[in-house]
Structure 1
Amino acid sequence: MSNGLINWLEIPVDDMKRAIHFYEQVFETTLRRETMSQVDMAVFPNPDPGGALVAGEGYRPSQHYGPVPYLHAPGLDALLQRVAHAGGKTVFGPLQLPGDIGRIAHIADSEGNRIGLHEPIAG
């Protein structure tokens, strides 16, 4: 494997407009809206690895089942403060990891997905 472990990420949503608002506000970014094979998507601007919010048949948000993606979150404390304001909640954290790995937290997004956040050690 020459690339990172994640090469694409799909976060299922029920309400695309609400989810776009949440992720754009929390991560201070702009998502690009598109449709592919009848799946409504809002693509994150990071090309490698890439990912999108997705709505359509076969996609259902959940904080109890399925994978937990960890998104890069420098400035974790400030990001967590934006979560509640954007319509989500902090599930746990921040938690300091051993061995200079950084800190993590879990949030529930506006759609009810459990999302991991990782803040690497600066430097």
Structure 2
Amino acid sequence: MKPNPVVWFEIYVSDMARAKAFYEAVFQTKLEPLPAPSGGANGMQMLVFPNDMNTNGATGTLVKMDGVSPGGGGTMVYFGCEDCAVEQARVEKAGGKVHQGKFPIGEYGHCAIILDTEGNMIGMHSMK
């Protein structure tokens, strides 16, 4: 297996407009439409996070798809931040909830755990 093996993620949503507004507000970024892959599920909608295929790290999309529901359990995605307290401060105003505020993880920096508007639990990580 290669180092940093995750290369893509998908966060499932039921209300694309609401989820888009949440992620753009919290992370101060712009999500762009991404065409569904050929052979993809009917009605599949995708918005992609900013990406640069020439750097380390993974990018991914918000996905609205028939038969797939958002919510907690299983896999959790962590978003890199300069200082996760900054993004955490935007969560509730954007319609989400702070599950666990910024906390230290020793020499590996800090994390915060939040719930988005769709009920997905995501993490934020920073060295500050």
Fold match by TM threshold 0.5 = yes
- Cα deviation per residue 1:75-112 (whole Å; 9 max; x = unaligned)? 211111100010001000211012x2000111000111
Q: How many residues align?
A: 119
Q: Distance in 2 between matches of 1:62 and 1:40?
A: 18
- Cα deviation per residue 1:26-83 (whole Å; 9 max; x = unaligned)? 10000011331232001001234220000002421112x1201111122211111100
Q: CA RMSD in A?
A: 1.5
Other structure's SS at 1:20 match: helix
Equivalent residue for 1:46?
51
Q: Distance in 2 between matches of 1:66 and 1:59?
A: 14
Other structure's SS at 1:82 match: helix
Q: Distance in 2 between matches of 1:5 and 1:47?
A: 16
Q: Distance in 2 between matches of 1:90 and 1:79?
A: 11
Which structure 2 segments of 5+ residues have no match? none
Offset at 1:3? 5.3
Equivalent of 1:97 in 105, 121, 128:
105
Deviation beyond 3 Å, 4+ runs, structure 1: none
TM-score by length of 1: 0.88
Q: Distance in 2 between matches of 1:12 and 1:24?
A: 16
Which structure 1 segments of 5+ residues have no match? none
Equivalent of 1:118 in 110, 122, 125:
125
Q: State percent identity of aligned pairs.
A: 38
45-54 or 101-110: which moved more? 45-54
TM-score by length of 2: 0.85
Offset at 1:2? 4.0
Q: Distance in 1 between matches of 2:27 and 2:68?
A: 22
Other structure's SS at 1:35 match: coil
